Amino acid sequence: MKQRTIKNPLTLEGIGLHSGTKSSLTIHPAKENSGIVFKRKDLAEYNTIPALYNYVVDTQNCTCLGNEQGARVSTIEHLMAALSMCGIDNALIEVDALEVPIMDGSGLIFYNALKESAYEELPADRKYLKVLKGVSFTDSKASTVRLSPAENFSVHMEIEFPSQIVGHQVFDSEITSEIFGKEIAPCRTFCEKYQVDYLQSIGLIKGGSLENAIVLDGETLLNPEGFRVPHECVNHKVLDAIGDLYTSGYHILGHFAGFKTGHYHNNELLKVLFADPSNYEII
Ligand SMILES: [Zn+2]
């Protein structure tokens, strides 16, 4: 299989989750072996940032990339998941603000727009990262992520939430484009109302609303439309993991498992994976 890029530039607009202000992104074609690179159009210099795990500078509430000169771009994960599942190996993504627009809080708008785009096949072969040895990362609260050898890319994810409307949710499947499109891309980020109230009180998530998140208030779901798919919350974690794993720079052949984990764990896992070249091979 050959590497791909998008054939024509694709522009999407929305608002930034934290700023609440309008931002736009344009996905441009890029040449083979250049990978996914973000460019902050609003900064005059040192404004490019590779979408790679070793450029991740913050993992609180989202995955944020930064370069040595301090330029940052945050909330990349849902877009990264869509790029990965559309087989876009190379792209230059111009953003005109600190944040990738949050859109509807899921990966659906990115995925649908990319799926409908024309692609260009590039001369170089696509590279896959094949996991050869099991690697894991566990934090002080016993939340664990793991990658182990497998022929395809599959995910096992578990979450445990105090609210009974979420409770214990499990996802376990190979990740095909059909499953991604139907069961993962539409799944929105979720949070509790007290977290929203606190973050808004300190000037964050100004753009957060029921239009771009599932909000729980104890045992009540505040979104009148309800869940989009059963187990939407755990499936959103799968979306996040697919996006975060694409900061490896490769499509992964391996089995990923996460138990009560998030962006921080996904990033630490990639650091463990790449720390020892005998853990994997590039094919
Ligand atoms: Zn997310």
Domains and their CATH numbers in the chain: 2-125 (3.30.230.20), 128-282 (3.30.1700.10)
> Do residues 72 and 57 touch, judged by C-beta distance below 8 A?
yes
d(CA 6, CA 20): 29
> What's the pLDDT band for 7 if we cut at 50, 70, 90?
very high
pLDDT tens-digit readout, 107-127? 999 999 999 999 999 999 999
The active-site residue, picked from 231, 236, 263, 265, is 263
pLDDT digits (tens, 9 = 90+) for 132-141: 999 999 999 9
What's the whole-number mean pLDDT along residues 9-17? 96
pLDDT score, position 261 = 97
Cα-to-chain-centroid distance, residue 6: 19
Would you state the pLDDT for residue 247?
Answer: 98
In the residue annotation, 231 being an active-site residue is answered as no
The region of weakest confidence among 17-26, 39-48, 247-256 is 17-26
Cα separation, 237 vs 243, in Å, equals 10
pLDDT at 97: 95
| pLDDT value of residue 102 | 97
The CA 122 to ligand 1 mean position distance, Å, reads 30
pLDDT digits (tens, 9 = 90+) for 223-266: 999 999 999 999 999 999 999 999 999 999 999 999 999 999 99
What is the whole-number distance in angstroms between the Cα of residue 278 and the centre of ligand 1?
31
Give the pLDDT mean for 97-109.
97
Q: 7 CA distance to ligand 1 centroid (A)?
A: 27
Q: What is the mean pLDDT of the chain?
A: 97
- Give the pLDDT of residue 276: 98
Please report which confidence band the pLDDT of residue 47 belongs to, taking 50, 70 and 90 as the band edges.
very high
Ligand 1 centre from 152 Cα, in Å? 23
pTM of the model: 0.98
222-225 long-range contacts, CB within 8 A, separation 24+: 222/193
Task: Please tell me the distance between residue 244's alpha carbon and the centre of ligand 1 in angstroms.
Answer: 10
How much distance in Å is there from the Cα of 134 to the middle of ligand 1?
25
| CA of 76 relative to ligand 1 center, distance in Å | 9
Neighbours of ion ligand 1 (CB under 5 A): 189, 240
